Amino acid sequence: MKSKRGKKKSLKRAEETRKARLEQEAKRAAQEAASEKRAAASKAEAEEKEAAQAAEAKPENVEHTCREEADREARERARAEAEFDARLARHKDELQWLYCELYEGGQPWFDQLCRDLKNIALDRKESLCCQDRKREADPNWYKSNDILGMMMYVDCFAGNLQGVREKLDYVEECGVNYLHLMPLLESPEGRSDGGYAVSNFRRVQPELGTMEDLEQLADECRERGISLCLDFVMNHTSEDHEWARRARAGEREYMNRYYFYDNYDVPAEFEKTVPQVFPTTAPGNFTWLPDMNKFVMTTFYPYQWDLNYWNPVVLNEMIYNMLNLTNKGIDVIRIDAVPYIWKQLGTSCRNLPQVHTIVRMMRMICEIVCPGVLLLGEVVMEPEKVVPYFGTVEKPECHMLYNVTTMASTWHTVATGDARLLRRQMDIVNGLPKDYVFLNYLRCHDDIGWGLDYPWLRQFGIQEVPHKRFLSDFFTGKFPDSFARGELYNDDPASGDARQCGTTASLCGIEKAAYERDEAALDRAVRFDLTLHAYMLTQSGIPVIYSGDEIGQENDYTYHEDPKKWEDSRYLHRGAFRWDKAELRHTPGTIQEKIFDGLRTLEKIRGSHPVFDADAACRTVDTWDDSILGLIKEKDGEKLVALFNFSRYDKVAWVNEEDGMYRNLVTGQELEARGVQIPAFGSCWLMREQEKK
């Protein structure tokens, strides 16, 4: 019994112990829960306090950030304002003198111009201002031997501006760092003159994109180190331009921006001294407007109304239009038809002194507002009329001009096989100051005009009219044994004068040889294509390739089927870029691969030797063969002997430079520059480097 009672007591104590333990655990759990609750509450309170503090501090931080941003913008604006004031002070006396000389009583318009220039300069974004400062510190930045240009139509190359952005990798693969986009501002369909009849200087042609697209393209080009060039048509507007429409409506202010005449008396006096630009397709310099009962001056086409620069409002407004483009990021302004912009009765209305005054003012205005921007003048005339557009070293006008006469003389040499005229042209160019920079090219969007030095050619029995007819026959393939394929533009049967159209590849024989499947002729034609480009790359200045030439693109005859184009044979060389052909540039043995790789080899050589700089000393040299052109260039201890055979036969150039061994820059061969063998339509670059002491 005792044992049972003891067992019960033990069980009771165990139960009590268990209950006590459970109570303790419950109490401890409650304490822990309370502790956790207090901790959570404390944490929540801390977080709430921290959030409150952060909330209290946030406006202060935002305010601080905004204040910093405002301070930065204020500093940038103050710097830009100080820079503008300094640049204006540097040029103001001359600018004011020229302006008020051009416009009697023009001080109010000049004062307004200066105020507007300052606002435009202060609107220039910081990335452009930084580029301005960099280029201002290195004013010869565009004279480097590594500058390579390409000109193209946006729609032909890539459809629109966005398409061009997507194709910039290809542009860079071509080695291009200067990109000229042909006219892309708004112009009326069917009356656009290829974009040179502008109806709105502030809008892009809708199918090509918008001004925002243009600015984005310019920004990306700048990031890639590509300078962007755009045409600026100064001489005229489209008849659809707002000014023209308001003038047509009888608003006197806008009528004063053009040349209107109630009858033909004054126009008849102009016609006595003013040449016609397009005597067959657009004869005369005036157009009768039945709805206005007036004549309007139209130097080019009837739908392009000449602007009246006697009116200072016109000059100011056109300056603003130009600067709007530069503030979008355009690096080079190509001034179209610049010799024509000033009209005066009793003159030819070409190259008048007032034109040079305006261009000089434009140069100073760019140096004041956007010193990183260049002016490129389009002056398609004989050399003695082209060179003055550079201005003087002390008072410069255009930064660059097209080497039009050398281009035309080159194609004359292609047809005749006689390099004497080309040598004379090179001697003229080489005698100019090294500050003058030419854009050198073989082909462009336009035709080839035969503005050759006929007075000089006369000593060889060459007469202008018969010679022009020969050139027309040769480059259209009509002349016996001609290898060229092209078409005429603005043919005038009465005078025998005509202009020539066609791509480089078609004019130098590639199209004909490929069509006839003549492999030997095709090899010669490809060699000739590269020789012509090698000659262009040898010249002092900036070489510019026409888009498609880098792959040997041939003529595009489909324009004959397009009623909007078939009357303008220049569309023969304005065809769509052949991307299918461009893909073949990586296929060994194709025409595209031979030309593309050959050009890139020449371009890389040019970019790696200072002797190709624009300021290198250059002279012609006797080769004792009229079909071979010889050039010698020297700079920084380098001496280049460049030889070009324009004959369809293998030749020897007897240059006799007896100063040691030379190296062929393309093949690496070592040889003397004496009796140098050159294949038909071939060329060579021979380099001698002086030993460095």
Q: Cα 483 vs. chain centroid, distance in angstroms?
A: 31
Q: Which amino acid is at 478?
A: K
**Residue 230 and residue 185: Cα distance in Å, rounded?**
9
Question: What would the DSSP string read from start to end of 593-624?
Answer: HHHHHHHHHHHHHHHT-GGGSTTSEEEE---S
CB 447 within 8 A of CB 571: no
- Burial label for 438, CB within 10 Å (0-12, 13-18, 19+), is buried
16 is catalytic: no
DSSP at 285:
S
Backbone phi and psi for residue 432, each to the nearest 5 degrees, phi listed first: -85, 160
According to DSSP H, which parts of 431-560 are helical?
Answer: 454-457, 464-475, 504-507, 510-516, 519-538
Residue 150 pairs in a beta bridge with 179, 545
Residue holding tokens 């004011």?
96
The question of whether 85 is a catalytic residue gets the answer no
230, 328 contact by CB (below 8 A)? no
Residue from 340, 123, 84 nearest 234 by CA: 340
Structural tokens at position 633: 């260039």
Identify residue 284 by its one-letter amino acid code.
G
- Report which DSSP code applies to 449: P
Q: Which of 378, 447, 549, 554 is catalytic?
A: 378
**CA distance from start to end of the chain:** 128
Place of tokens 């604006």: 77
In this structure, are residues 194 and 182 in contact, taking their beta carbons and an 8 Å threshold?
yes
Spatial CA neighbour of 676 closest among 640, 623, 631, 616:
623
Exactly one of 240, 336, 529, 568 is catalytic; name it.
336
Phi-psi category of residue 108: left, alpha or beta, with phi > 0 → left and psi -120 to 50 → alpha = alpha
Give the C-alpha separation, 314 to 677, whole Å.
59
**What values do phi and psi take at 435, rounded to 5?**
-70, -20
Which amino acid is residue 278, in one-letter code? F
DSSP letters for 643-684: EEE-SSS-EEEEEEEEEEEEEETTT--EEEEEEEEE-TT-EE
Which residues are designated catalytic?
Answer: 336, 378
